[in-house]
Amino acid sequence: MSLKRKLIDDKDNLSNLSDETSFSIEKDEPQNKKMKYTSNDTIDVENSPLIDDEYTIKAGYIKNLKLVNFMCHEHFYIDFTPNLNFIIGNNGTGKSAILTAIAVGLGANASQAQRSGQLKGLIQHGKEKCSVTLTINNNGDFAYQPELYGDEIILERTISQRGSLFRVKVDNKFQDLKSSHLKALLNYLGIRINNPMVFLTQDMAKKFLTAASKKEKYDNFAAANYFDYVYNSYNETEQNLASTAVTLKMIKPNLDRLQKEAAEAKSILNKVRDSKEMISKITLLRKYNMFLEMQEEYKEAKAWLEQLTSLREKIEQLILIKESNVDEQTEELRANKLVVEDNIRVINEEMDAVRSTISTYQSDVLQLKALINSLKQEASSTQRDYLETSKKHVQVKEEYKIAFEQFSKSSDEKNKFLMDQKFSIEKEIKALDEQFASSGEKIASLTEQQTQLVREKESKTRQVNSTMREYMQILSSQKQKNTDVYDSFGPNMKQYLKEIDQLVKNRQFSSPPIGPLGALVTIKEEYEADWAVLVQNRLKNQLRSFVVGDLRDKQLLQKTLTKHGMQTGFNILIRKMNTFDYSRDIPRTNENELIMTDVLDFANEQIKCVFVDLASVHTLILGRDYDDAKALSVKYPRNVVIAITKENGYIATFMHSRGSAIVNRYVTKHITMRNQNKYLGKLKEELVSLQREMKEIHNSYDTKISQVMEEIKSIKKSQMNFRSSKRSMMEKLDGITTELEAIQDSDKVENLENEVLRLQEVMRVTQSSLDNLNMEIEDNQNKLKIKTDDMKEHENKEKELVKELNEQSRSLQNILNTIHDVKLRIKNAAAEYETKQRESDLLAEKITAKRNSFKEKKKQIEPYQADIISIKDSLSNDSKYQIEQRIKKLEEHLNENSEFSAEDLPDLEMHALDAITKFKRERVNYKSFKSLLNKMHNLLHQKKLTYLNHQTDCFKETNAMFSKFMKYRGFVGNLSFQNPNALDMMSNNNNPLSSGKSSNGTNRLEGELTIYARSREETETRDVDTLSGGEKSFAQMSLLLATWGVISSRVIALDEFDVFMDNVNREIGTKLIIESLKDRLQTQTIIITPQDITAIADNYINDPHIKIHKMRAIERT
């Protein structure tokens, strides 16, 4: 703790005393910190706890000062040590301006800074404003709000022609500082700017150091220690207590009068309370009767209210129906109607196209049949011609053979040789004709084979291409979509769900909608690759569903869906989200047999029960292939659904004892997946496999078709060789014939031969025509078969379209009927609403009347509720009539015995109670106040005595330090204090409530401070005023240092202390200041002198506690 006066905290004492007496002291009191001290007759100054009892520097000293346009300083900056600072320099260098700046920067006004005029007079001539910036250490013990100001408090005061402004730096920014906050800050840090002995300017220093009056010395000392302020506060409190005691004596007669009035009031109060008790019994019985009437009315009103509630629920339902928009109610139906109508239009167009194709096929079939019949007739006629020609050829050939044999016998060897050669050539020509015909048949067969291969290739590639396109569409759609499951329901689904959440918060839904359900169901990761698509295909309707609580919620949900462009494709279910036991329906499967619920995770059991109820997922068994599913369908009962999958795709199959139904694959992302890449990866593998299969199909069929074409090409080439060989042989045959004609001259042989040749050619041509006809017939029959098959296929398709058209027509009719029903329901609801509303209004009026009557009676009996409950059991067997008879008897008794009217009873009771209460209150107040006043008299007297003891201690301590400092000069000195407060206390010792005058009525004596000193050679002390000027100034300086030792201030300043000292006393005084102040860590001292003390302070030049600032001459313009 820093050097402090060891007085008890007088401010706290006076505050406590003021609280007890209910008096307040609004003066600005000093805030001395507490330090317990026991007074002794002798004080050990060296070991006194008042002198630097701690060795750490605390917060509150000035680190530096910055001036801008202040008095003679345009731009000035100076650093201070936390202990002893000397500011030296010639006159006119601005030394005193520094002390003025510190005082002004800490809140002093012009007069307090010992500057005449106003603060604006401190602004340098020719400038508009000036500023003083002080940096105060805020590190260490007793730091002021370090969390706000940090280790330094930077105060800035700006003075302009219009006034001044305080600012403080917080978070590296200056902000305005109120004067009250500044005062609190300085008080906390212990900086006493208004203490006349703390900041001594030139005038104050001169006045103190040269003061001749003993009274002035004492007054300065007393002002420095706040003696008069504290003692005057005690006296003011004493005067207030004396006035209070006089007032208390004046109150006693009034208290006696109140006691007499209270006794009379008590007698009246007893009579009034007897009458009131009787009236209370009568009133309570009446209220009990009213209570019985209320019970009957309540039962009747409760029945009416239940009836009204039922009516209003029905009316609300009718309002929802009546006020519902037909377009909104039928929006989905009308959308479905448009879809169905569009489907019907498409089906009709497709039927027209199919029927047109069938008609074309029928025409083609008829034409082919006619052509085939014509060709068959032609072939039959050609066959008959061929048979007749063949028969004739046999006859002519036989004749020719006979004629030739006869002719051969008569011919020579050359003729025979030529004839043999001719027969050989003819035989070869015939063989060539047969080979040519056979090759033609082979070409026709190969051409048909090529056509069949092309058809097979086109069919297989079309099938594989279709599957590949579907896979690529799936992969592409999943690649483009976000993995977020909500995006698969539509691009606006997230915004839609946000709006639903907002509507739920606004309580527009009776219960929060649940959905879409696909977002609440997750396929287990280990089953995604095998079962993801199948699950979605099977549950596609349920995955796109929402669950709401009632019809109104459904209408609001549909309206919101329409708003976001998602009015179609979603199912909205009205149901309660509850659970039920479905374990009995679950089939008992083997460990390796999966049920749909095995591969799914549900958000909660309620969601699972929804899918169990809607899709029977608990009875849906998953088979690995068709054979497995077929075996499962035989093993399990008919109500179990079987779903199968194959490696090349996903097929949902509903197995029953009579067969199965194949459902086309349907892939989307309407369900939550932890890793959808598994089943997408499987699709990619299958796509690669299909691409490989497509390539193999192309290679295989291209090879076969190429082989067939090569074979056809080879046969056609051989046909060309046949024709070339035949032409060569025909040329040879013509030569041989010419040569034979030259040898033979028998016309018969020649004619027969020509006839045989002619018939052979006719037969060949006929046979060729017949073969061509048969080939054409076969080709047309094949065409007829293809056309017939295509026509049957289109006829089957027409039947399917007719069936689908009938289904769509029925759907359209159902939609139209539903729309009509909705319109009719809304129309009927309006009529029924009017009827129910009238009934509701009439019943509500009855209930309101009954309720008003009930409220009025309840209001009347409410104050008696507890009393009615207490007597309810005792009167439970009494009828209403019996209670009325009791009331009558009590009223008669009251009228006979009461001397007061019922109307006067409350006022009489109130006045009596007021009189009794007033007396008791005043008696308690009088006694407590009298006791408190006595206590306060004693306490004040004790505290005043304690305070005077502390004054005595202060005098002793100051005297001890003064004596010590005088020894430094070689003098023996002491102080003599005449304490007027102590004298006054002695005169008033027996009268603690006396005023500030002495017992004889005269004013109390004034305080005096006398300084006595002598040299060591002298034997008697003498008044310091008899000493020389330098010695006197040294004694005054010792008094100042001793005074500083007992006052509490973090910063002390003195201007030109040595102005009246000679060189000897100045040197000794300077050394005394250094020795006494350099080690006082808790007080920062600033000394200003025009003398150059560097030589005197040379021995302390390396002491970190001392700093000498030498001012330079100011350049003036």
Q: What is the pLDDT of residues 550-575, one digit of tens each?
A: 888 888 888 888 888 776 778 888 88
Low-confidence ranges of the chain (pLDDT < 70): 1-56, 114-116, 210-212, 406-415, 469-484, 487, 567, 625-627, 629-630, 633-634, 636-641, 643-683, 739-748, 897-902, 982-1005, 1059-1060, 1116-1117
- What is the C-alpha separation between 33 and 1, in angstroms, rounded? 10
Residue 15: inside a domain, yes or no?
Answer: yes
The number of CA neighbours under 13 Å toward the Cβ of 1061 is 23
DSSP letters for 928-957 = HHHHHHHHHHHHHHHHHHHHHHHHHHHHHH
For tokens 């519902």, what's the residue?
A: 324
- 453 and 490 belong to one structural domain: no
The reported pLDDT for the residue numbered 670 is: 55
Q: Are residues 731 and 631 in the same domain?
A: no
| 331-410 vs 413-480: helix crossing angle, rounded to 10 | 170
Same domain, 156 and 20: yes
Token representation of residue 821: 């029903």
**Residue 968 pLDDT:** 83
User: 684 in a domain, yes or no?
Assistant: no
Among 801, 829, 848, give the residue marking a domain's end. 801
Same domain, 434 and 547: no
Query: DSSP class of residue 1091?
Result: S
According to the model, what pLDDT value does residue 167 have?
95
Q: Are 425 and 729 contacting, i.e. CB atoms less than 8 angstroms apart?
A: yes
CA dist 1033 and 1018 (Å) reads 20
> For residue 478, is it within any domain?
no
How much is the pLDDT for 748?
67
Contacts of 643 (CB under 8 A, 6+ apart): 534, 538, 596, 620, 621, 622, 623, 629, 652, 653
Q: What whole-number distance in Å separates Cα of residue 223 and Cα of residue 1078?
A: 25
Query: Which residues contact residue 152 at a Cβ distance below 8 angstroms, ignoring those fewer than 6 apart?
Result: 63, 135, 136, 137, 138, 139
398/513 same-domain check: no
Give the domain-ending residue among 742, 768, 801.
801
Cross-strand bridge partners of residue 623: 644
Provide the token pair at 578: 């509850």
Look at residues 758, 778, 801 and tell me which one is the last residue of a structural domain: 801
Is 77 in contact with 135 (CB distance < 8 Å)?
no
Q: How many domains does the chain have?
A: 3
**In sequence order, what are the beta bridge partners of 62?**
136
Please give the angle made by the CA atoms of 942, 946 and 947, to the nearest 5 degrees. 115
Quote the CA–CA distance of 523 and 597 in Å, as a whole number: 10
Rg (CA), the chain: 66
706: helix, strand or coil: helix
Answer yes or no: is 295 within a domain.
Answer: no
What are the DSSP calls for 293-359, one per residue? HHHHHHHHHHHHHHHHHHHHHHHHHHHHHHHS-HHHHTHHHHHHHHHHHHHHHHHHHHHHHHHHHHH
pLDDT of residue 1117: 58
Q: Is residue 814 part of a domain?
A: no
Distance CA 932, CA 21 (A): 8
> 157 - beta bridge partners?
132, 166
CB 142 within 8 A of CB 58: yes
For residues 651 and 735, state if they share a domain.
no
Q: At 22, which amino acid appears?
A: S
Q: Domain span at residue 359?
A: 347-457+709-801
Q: How far is CA 416 from the centre of its chain?
A: 123
CA atoms within 13 A on the CB side of 652: 18
Which DSSP category does 158 fall into?
E
Quick one: pLDDT at residue 130? 95
452 and 490 together in one domain: no
Q: Provide the 8-state DSSP code for 553.
A: H
CA-CA distance, 315 to 13, in Å (whole number)?
78
The CATH code of the domain that includes 1070 is: 3.40.50.300
Record the tokens describing residue 882, joined without a space.
């019996």
The answer to whether the bond into 516 is cis (omega within 30° of 0) is: yes
Q: Please tell me the predicted confidence (pLDDT) of residue 54.
A: 44
Residue 687 belongs to a domain: no
* 1078 domain residue, yes or no: yes
Helices and strands per DSSP (H, E), number in the chain: 24, 24
Q: Could you give the 3-state DSSP secondary structure of residue 165?
A: strand
Residue 812 lies in a domain: no
How far is the C-alpha of 297 from the C-alpha of 339, rounded, in Å?
A: 61
- For residues 244 and 315, give the distance between their C-alpha atoms in angstroms, rounded to a whole number: 78
**Structure token pair of residue 113:** 């800074």
Task: Looking at the structure, tell me whether residues 744 and 795 fall in a common domain.
Answer: yes
User: In this predicted model, what pLDDT tens digit does every residue of 779-825 receive, in sequence order?
Assistant: 888 888 888 888 888 888 888 888 888 988 988 898 888 888 888 88
Bridging pattern class, strands 600-602 and 521-523: antiparallel
Burial (CB count within 10 angstroms: exposed 0-12, middle 13-18, buried 19+), residue 761? exposed
Phi and psi for 63 in degrees, rounded to 5?
-85, -40
Does residue 111 share a domain with residue 24? yes
On whether both 718 and 646 belong to a single domain, the answer is no
Q: How far is CA 464 from the centre of its chain?
A: 52
Q: Are residues 183 and 39 in the same domain?
A: yes
Q: Residues 694, 465: contact at Cβ < 8 Å?
A: yes
Q: What CA–CA distance (Å, rounded) separates 788 from 800?
A: 18
Distance CA 994, CA 693 (A): 127
Regarding whether 513 and 442 lie in a shared domain, the answer is no
Residue 74's φ and ψ, nearest 5 degrees, are -85, -50
